[in-house]
């Protein structure tokens, strides 16, 4: 057999059938479900009188609408409440595993899947959410789908798919101390653009990637979709296996041994050919900040905001002008001089324990700057929250003037009450800086957790390396 | 799903690259548990000058007079012309539902984000990819002509302007077949149910920890 990529191998293992045009019926192992993109799928199933194919494949949780404060009051927004109740009812009706609001295991869907050991190497994982790419950190083929496809998986356990092209991004050499997975992925998006990975599955490779913890790999794969690729992959290694062992949904006993020996085959063969290869020098990656309204609008921390006049492509320079106007920024100003109003540490990109530790390390013994109206930390799950509390991180944040909140998607997309007001500027550890993403008229700058904490205590962007003790 | 038939329709253009699904339908409207009713909030942040909430009547809101979709001549637009990487971002199918609910049947762009592209076909919205230089030309024509229309013929994979200039486009055979016939692809997959069951038997024997 010819040399295969990791993606080729996972794909081949899940092919139920393929037609002459290469259209494949792909088998799905894990289906993660949340309240926003599932109600119409459940309804569709019912209207067509179809059964659910394999309920054991589903793990459901409410996350997008969940308040992060005063949980004892429930969800006060009636529209949000109905959506969450609808999920609970649908799950109860079909007998699905669901972590309801208040459950000790509740949290953001892309945090709790791995945390529970529900995401395993070699699996196909789908969810009606574009950040499903997160689970690729485990060497699983994981991608976001729309509601019609959610219904399709519920009814048939399969999806009709065309195979993507293979792309590999190698970070050559190690990255410097204090450079995080978030900086790596923002640099990648800056290099290849938000459509750079369209039509591809991206495998991440190189020393800087294998050096990452599972938390870091999840941050990296999470934002693969911001580079245009539905799925990102990191090959399974001992770091992966050590992370999974002993988690509630992970295999045990004889099955564990069988699984591990299979997982160890899940890597790209030596001579496999990629449709596209990209190399980035790890040593050149600095702390990254987005300045505009697309995740590809990125600068390094000590750079100036770019000038559209220097961009020769007319469509691009027009996009840059729109972005500067929306963001209320001027070209050629150092990004470090930009003053902030709010700080958000959270989201499926950066709300795991390691993220909270990194932010707490910077916040420790310091105070949130006077110009910051709100600095909030939203753990990705209740289990992450408990872990952080057992390490005393909550107290560090509270002492510094941060708000310590309950888990959920929160101000990443502002479907609950956590949002920016028009014109407010936020350093955010989330994944999208689109217009209005964190609230209508809100201005988002994407950064790593440590950079967000550094911005909180100084009131503006600052090279976090100056604050590391 | 309705069968996709050839038609001539009014074109409206939005000259921005990377229009994301948050712009197409903002998050607060995703709280709905229905598939319909999203059209009035399509491009909500650009269409209205004040913020909107689900349940709040749009008639009480200040309309942005400069936004093209608010002009009466585009009220019945059926073809949206856009720039590269259209509908990037979130997987929300609500973006497709909102475009269709407004009345769009076709989006023409040089490139689309993958998830949106997939979602479109599931609902009968046709995403047409044309080369960037052709798109430039269409934008110019749109700027120059008052009542700019295009004819879209899926069967023959052609976009035609009034002067009769034909612009062919590529499309996957299966997707074309489903659109033309209005087929629900769950129904088509269910025809392979026995094959899926046979696959599962073999699969779980090989990977028992997944059962």
Contact A156 B31 (CB under 8 A): no
Q: What is the phi/psi pair of residue A299, to 5°?
A: -130, 160
Indicate the pLDDT class of residue A469, thresholds 50, 70 and 90: confident
Q: How far apart are CA A267 and CA A6, in angstroms?
A: 5
Min distance A367 CA to chain B CA atoms (Å): 33
pLDDT score recorded for residue B1: 86
pLDDT per position as a tens digit, A167-214: 999 999 999 999 999 999 999 999 999 999 999 999 999 999 999 999
Tokens read off for A372: 């910051």
Cβ <8 Å between A146 and B115: yes
Please answer yes or no on whether A413 and B22 come within 8 Å at the CB atom: yes
Residue B126 burial by CB count (10 A; 0-12/13-18/19+): exposed, middle or buried? buried
CA distances from A228 to A194, A223, B63, B111, B113 (A): 5, 9, 33, 11, 7
pLDDT at position A292: 98
Residues A123, B32: C-beta atoms closer than 8 Å: no
Q: What is the pLDDT of residues B38-47, one digit of tens each?
A: 999 999 999 9
Contact A259 B27 (CB under 8 A): no
CB A148 within 8 A of CB A39: no
Q: Which residue of A has its CA nearest to B22?
A: A437
Q: Residue A18 has what pLDDT?
A: 96
Question: β-strand B166-168 against B158-160: which pairing, if any?
Answer: antiparallel
What is the C-alpha separation between B48 and A436, in angstroms, rounded? 13
Structure letter (DSSP) for residue B70? G
Q: Does B55 contact A79 at a Cβ distance shorter than 8 Å?
A: yes
A122 touches chain B (CB under 8 A): yes
- Contacts of residue A224, Cβ cutoff 8 Å, sequence gap at least 6: A133, A136, A185, A197, A202, A230, A231, A232
CA–CA separation, A101 vs A121, rounded Å? 28
Angle of CA points A79, A131, B98, to nearest 5°? 45
* β-bridge pairing B149-153 and B126-129: unpaired
How many angstroms separate the CA of residue A445 from the nearest CA in chain B?
A: 16
Instruction: Say whether residue A65 is in contact with chain B using an 8 A CB cutoff.
Output: yes
Min Cα–Cα distance to chain A from B16, Å? 7
Instruction: Answer yes or no: is pLDDT of A22 > 90.
Output: no
CA B129 to chain centre: 12
Alpha-carbon distance of A112 to A126, in angstroms, equals 14
Helix or strand (DSSP H, E) at A457: helix A449-458
Instruction: Enumerate the β-bridge partners of residue A445.
Output: A427
Pick B88's closest partner by Cβ from A86, A228, A315: A228
- pLDDT band (50, 70, 90) for residue A364: very high
Exposed/middle/buried for residue A25 (C-beta within 10 Å: 0-12, 13-18, 19+): buried
Give the DSSP H/E element, type plus range, for residue B199.
helix B193-206
For the segment A71-95, the average pLDDT, to the nearest whole number, is 96
How many secondary structure helices (H) and strands (E) does chain A include? 15, 19
Transcribe B79-111 into DSSP letters.
EEE--SSBTBS---THHHHHHHHHT--EEEES-
Q: Write the residue in B17, B113, B209 that is nearest to A315 by C-beta.
A: B17
CA atoms within 13 A on the CB side of B102: 29
Are residues A93 and A104 in contact, defined by beta-carbon separation less than 8 angstroms?
A: no
Gap from B193 CA to chain A (nearest CA, Å): 7
Give the integer Cα–Cα distance in Å for A197 and A218: 17
Q: Is the CB of A200 inside 8 Å of chain B's CB atoms?
A: no
Indicate yes or no: CB of A255 within 8 angstroms of CB of B209.
yes
Please say whether the beta carbons of A48 and B199 come within 8 A. Answer: no
Using CB atoms, pick whichever of A37, A160, A414 lies closest to residue B189.
A160
Question: Does residue B34 contact residue A447 with C-beta atoms inside 8 Å?
Answer: no
Query: What burial class does residue A242 get, using C-beta atoms within 10 Å of its C-beta: 0-12 exposed, 13-18 middle, 19+ buried?
Result: exposed
Of all residues in chain A, the one with the smallest CA distance to B53 is A79
* Domains of chain B: residue spans and CATH: 6-183 (3.20.19.10)
pLDDT digits (tens, 9 = 90+) for A262-316: 999 999 999 999 999 999 999 999 999 999 999 999 999 999 999 999 999 998 9
| Mean pLDDT within A64-91 | 96
Residue A21 pLDDT class (50, 70, 90 cuts): confident
CA distance A425 to chain B (A): 18
pTM: 0.97
Tell me if chain B has a CB within 8 Å of the CB of A134: no
The answer to whether the CB atoms of B18 and A194 lie below 8 A apart is yes
pLDDT of residue B184: 85
Q: What angle do CA A190, A109, A68 make, to 5 degrees?
A: 95
Strand arrangement, sheet containing A342-345 = A403-404, A374-377, A342-345, A425-428, A443-446
**To probe the interface with B, which of A16, A122, A409 has the most B CB atoms within 10 Å?**
A16
Least CA distance to A256: which residue of chain B? B209
Which residues of chain B lie closer than 8 angstroms to A144, CB-CB? 91, 115
User: With contacts defined as CB-CB under 8 Å, which chain B residues touch A132?
Assistant: 91
Q: How far is A222 from chain B (nearest CA, A)?
A: 12
pLDDT of residue A153: 98
A50 pLDDT more than 90: yes
Contact assessment for residue A3 and residue B184, using Cβ atoms and an 8 Å cutoff: no
Which of the four pLDDT bands, split at 50, 70 and 90, describes residue A1? low
Across chain B, which has 211 residues, the per-10-residue mean pLDDT values are: 95 96 97 95 96 89 96 97 97 98 98 97 97 97 96 98 96 95 94 98 98 90
β-pairing verdict for A23-27 and A15-18:
antiparallel
Facing residue for B85 by CB, picked from A143, A158, A195: A195
CA distance A409 to A222: 14
Closest alpha carbon to A226 in A179, A193, A191: A193
Asked if residues A217 and A181 have their Cβ atoms less than 8 Å apart, the reply is yes
Mean pLDDT over residues A149-174, rounded? 98
The mean pLDDT of A448-452, rounded to a whole number, is: 98
Q: What percent of chain A has pLDDT over 90?
A: 98
Residue of B nearest to A15 (CA): B199
Nearest beta carbon to residue A255 from set B34, B192, B208: B208
Probe site for chain A from B125, B186, B195, B196 (most A CB atoms < 10 A): B186
Look-up of token digits 């101000």: A411
What's the mean pLDDT in A436-464? 97
**What pLDDT, on a 0 to 100 scale, did the predictor assign at position A193?**
97
Query: Is A38 in CB contact (< 8 Å) with chain B?
Result: no
Q: Among candidates A109, A123, A111, A113, which has minimal Cα distance to A37?
A: A109
Residue in B23, B27, B36, B41 to test binding to A, most A beta-carbons within 10 Å? B27
């Amino acid at each position: 057999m010819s040399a295969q990529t990791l993606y080729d191998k996972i794909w081949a293992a899940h092919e139920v059938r393929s037609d002459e045009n290469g259209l494949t019926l792909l088998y799905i192992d894990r289906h993660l479900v949340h309240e926003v993109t599932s109600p119409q799928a459940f309804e569709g199933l019912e209207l067509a009188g179809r059964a659910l194919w394999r309920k054991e494949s589903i793990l459901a949780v409410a996350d997008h609408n969940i308040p992060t404060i005063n949980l004892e009051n429930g969800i006060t927004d009636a529209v949000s409440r109905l959506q969450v109740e609808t999920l609970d009812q649908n799950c109860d009706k079909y007998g699905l595993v669901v972590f309801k609001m208040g459950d000790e295991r509740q949290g953001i869907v892309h945090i709790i899947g791995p945390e529970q050991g529900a995401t395993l190497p070699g699996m196909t994982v789908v969810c009606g959410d574009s950040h499903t790419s997160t689970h690729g950190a485990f060497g699983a083929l994981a991608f976001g789908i729309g509601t019609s496809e959610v219904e399709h998986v519920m009814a048939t356990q399969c999806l009709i798919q065309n195979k993507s092209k293979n792309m590999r991004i190698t970070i050559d050499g190690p990255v410097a101390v204090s450079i995080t997975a978030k900086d790596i992925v923002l640099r990648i998006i800056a290099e290849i653009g938000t459509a750079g990975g369209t039509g591809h599955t991206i495998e991440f490779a190189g020393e800087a990637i294998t050096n990452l913890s599972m938390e870091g790999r999840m941050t990296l794969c999470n934002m693969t979709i911001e580079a245009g690729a539905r799925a990102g992959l990191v090959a399974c290694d001992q770091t992966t296996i050590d992370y999974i062992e002993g988690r509630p949904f992970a295999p045990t006993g004889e099955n564990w041994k069988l699984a591990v020996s299979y997982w160890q085959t899940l890597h790209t063969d030596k001579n496999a050919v990629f449709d596209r290869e990209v190399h980035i020098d790890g040593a050149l990656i600095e702390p990254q900040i987005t300045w505009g309204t697309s995740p590809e609008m990125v600068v390094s921390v000590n750079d100036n905001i770019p000038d559209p006049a220097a961009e020769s492509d007319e469509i691009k320079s027009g996009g840059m002008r729109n972005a500067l106007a929306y963001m209320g920024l001027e070209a050629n100003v150092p990004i470090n001089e930009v003053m902030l109003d709010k700080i958000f540490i959270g989201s499926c990109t950066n709300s795991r324990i390691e993220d909270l530790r990194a932010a707490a390390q910077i916040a420790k013994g310091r105070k949130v700057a006077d110009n910051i109206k709100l600095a909030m930390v939203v753990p990705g799950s209740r289990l992450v929250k408990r872990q952080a509390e057992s390490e005393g991180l909550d107290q560090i944040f509270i002492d510094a003037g941060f708000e310590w909140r309950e888990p959920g998607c929160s101000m990443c997309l502002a479907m609950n009450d956590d949002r920016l007001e028009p014109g407010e500027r936020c350093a955010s550890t989330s994944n999208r800086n689109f217009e209005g993403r964190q609230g209508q008229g809100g201005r988002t700058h994407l950064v790593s957790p440590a950079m967000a904490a550094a911005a909180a205590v100084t009131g503006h962007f600052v090279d976090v390396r100056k604050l590391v003790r | 799903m309705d069968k996709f038939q050839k038609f001539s329709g009014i074109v409206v253009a939005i000259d921005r690259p990377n229009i994301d699904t948050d712009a197409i339908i903002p998050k607060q409207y995703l709280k709905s548990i229905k598939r319909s009713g999203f059209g009035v909030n399509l491009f909500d942040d650009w269409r209205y000058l004040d913020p909107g909430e689900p349940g709040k009547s749009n008639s009480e809101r200040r309309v942005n007079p400069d936004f093209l979709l608010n002009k009466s001549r585009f009220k019945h637009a059926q073809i949206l012309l856009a720039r590269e990487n259209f509908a990037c971002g979130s997987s929300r199918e609500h973006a497709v539902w909102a475009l269709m609910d407004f009345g769009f049947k076709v989006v023409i762009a040089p490139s689309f984000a993958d998830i949106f592209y997939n979602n479109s076909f599931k609902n009968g919205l046709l995403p047409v990819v044309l080369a960037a230089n052709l798109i430039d030309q269409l934008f110019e024509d749109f700027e120059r002509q008052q009542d700019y229309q295009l004819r879209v013929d899926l069967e023959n994979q052609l976009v035609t302007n009034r002067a009769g200039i034909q612009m062919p486009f590529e499309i996957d055979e299966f997707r074309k077949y489903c659109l033309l016939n209005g087929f629900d692809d769950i129904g088509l997959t269910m025809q392979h149910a026995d094959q899926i069951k046979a696959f599962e038997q073999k699969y779980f024997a090989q990977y028992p920890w997944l059962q």
